[in-house]
Structures are given as C-alpha cells and as structure tokens.
C-alpha cells in the first residue's frame, strides 16, 4: 500500500490516481479515503489527478495514541502535499475533513493551493459556547464519545442507519450498502484516535483560519444536515471567508456526496470550471 512517513512510526496511507490538476480529498469521522469513491472515479475520469488519504488513526494509516487533533492533521496533510509535490491543488473536505482543510489553509497558507471546498463541514465551530450560543451542547459530543468507547461496533451501525444519511426521515429510501460501507470504514480505524477526534471536530475553533484563507472556497451544505446543522456552520462560515461561495441543497443530508453523488460531482466540476452553479453568497 502507498504510504508516507509523517513522523517516526506514523505512516499515512493514500491513493493517487489520474493526471492533471490535483484534487486532494479529506474524509469525515470516523471514515477513510474510501468514502470518496464516487468522487475519485468521477474526477479522475474528467482529467484531474485525485489524491485521498486516510487520516492518522483512521482506515489503513497508523493508529496513533497521540496527535489526534487538528494541528497535527493539518501538518500530516502538508507532509503529503510536499511528498507528492502537489501544486495548485484543490482541497476538498467533508465534515471533519472540512475542518482539516480549513486548518491546513489557515496554518500552512496557499502556496500550493488553488481553492478549497468545504462539504457539510464543521467550521467555524460546532460546540455551544458563550461566543457560539447556537452550537450543539457538550452532551451531544459526550454521547458520541460514550458510544465510541463502550459499544463502538453497534454505535457505528446506528449513525449511518439514522441521521448521517437522513435515512430516519419519513419516506427515505434506505441504502443498506452505504450503511455497511460506513460501518466497515469506521471499524478499520482505531478506537483511541476516534475517541480523541470527537474533541478535534467539535471543539476546534476555525474562525481565524477561515478569515485568513485567500483562495476561493466553495461551501456545499444540505439544509437537512442533522450531523452538522447548516445554521451553525456554512451560514456562519460564508461570512468569514474572503472569497467564499455558498451552495445550499434543499433536503440534502450530511452524507450527500454519497447519497447524491451525481448532483454534488456535477456542481463541483462546474464550479472548478468557472461555471454558474446557482450558488448564493
């Protein structure tokens, strides 16, 4: 398997397919690069070089005890970019991966980046605080930690069955294959990194990162996202970006890149080509 060593004893697995301008995909918690299958195939077949990595502790990368936080995630991504000598890269991040992209661009700058895409992403900050009263209470994230720590296999069956893909909505057509794929990806990762990552995606404040990003950024978010509610994420993030574009998808769920890949892929391709996708800013 192709890997790079980001630290002694820490190897990051990655996929690198196709040729052309690079698109780098950062996945959500607790998944892996496999969650981007539909995007990797689509964009590689449309003349792009596609790269997707398993975040440390996830998928086929090293299950680390330490370093399971956003600064290190961003540094790992930087190491991958440098190892593969990527230039003018488009960074696409879903959910936690959107936080990784925001922190990467905020921490390492845009010398090798052309654009960013935050899809159902966690920035600016998910946790309810005095400065962010619209956020989710700590009890929500304590529940995720408890499920991960005490009954991870069963918990990882519940999330995709219900709110992650919107399968709990009346009339929803349940896709068992997506549920099984989610569980499999989750169980490939390590319990300690998964546990630590809950704090990383919920408590990290990306406000200053968003303000400093100087490349165009597309925000793609479903207005029925039950995992990362749009009112406290994309609708706030768009106000912080220098060159932001917001596209809201009525009725779409948190995992919309998997449940609606034809729509998401077509819109992302059109935006990359400079076409109007009916976005609002």
Catalytic residue IDs: 95, 225, 254
Q: Comparing C-alpha atoms, which of 190, 181, 253 is closest to residue 64?
A: 190
No. of helices (H) and no. of strands (E), the chain: 10, 8
Q: Which three-class secondary structure state does DSSP give residue 250?
A: coil
Rg (the chain; Cα; Å): 17
Find out whether 61 and 53 touch, Cβ atoms under 8 Å: yes
Report the distance separating Cα 104 and Cα 183, nearest Å.
27
CB within 8 A of 111, min separation 6: which ones? none
In the block, tokens 């574009």 appear at 245
Residue 54 is given by DSSP the state P
CB atoms within 10 A of CB 176: 10
């Amino acid at each position: 398997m192709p890997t790079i060593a980001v630290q002694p004893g820490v190897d990051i697995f990655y996929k690198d397919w196709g040729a052309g301008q690079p698109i780098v995909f950062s996945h959500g918690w607790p998944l892996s690069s496999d969650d981007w299958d539909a995007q990797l195939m689509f964009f590689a077949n449309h003349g792009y070089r596609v790269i997707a990595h398993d975040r440390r502790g996830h998928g086929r990368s090293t299950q680390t005890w330490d370093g399971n936080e956003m600064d290190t995630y961003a540094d790992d991504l930087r190491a991958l970019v440098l190892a593969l000598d990527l230039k003018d890269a488009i960074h696409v991040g879903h959910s936690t991966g959107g936080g990784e992209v925001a922190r990467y661009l905020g921490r390492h700058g845009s010398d090798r980046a052309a654009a960013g895409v935050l899809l159902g992403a966690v920035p600016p900050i998910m946790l309810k605080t005095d400065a962010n009263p619209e956020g989710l209470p700590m009890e929500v994230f304590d529940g995720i930690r408890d499920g991960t720590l005490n009954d991870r296999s069963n918990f990882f069956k519940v999330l995709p069955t219900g709110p992650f893909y919107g399968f709990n909505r009346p009339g929803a057509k349940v896709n068992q294959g997506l549920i099984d794929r989610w569980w499999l990806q989750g169980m490939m990762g390590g319990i300690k990194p998964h546990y630590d990552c809950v704090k990383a995606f919920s408590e990290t404040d990306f406000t200053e990162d968003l303000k400093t990003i100087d490349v165009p950024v597309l925000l793609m978010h479903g207005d029925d996202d039950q995992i990362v509610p749009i009112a406290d994420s994309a609708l706030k993030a768009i106000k912080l970006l220098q060159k932001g574009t917001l596209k809201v998808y009525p009725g779409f769920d948190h995992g919309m890149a998997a449940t609606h890949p034809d729509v998401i892929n077509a819109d992302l391709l059109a935006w990359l080509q400079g076409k109007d996708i009916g976005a609002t800013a």
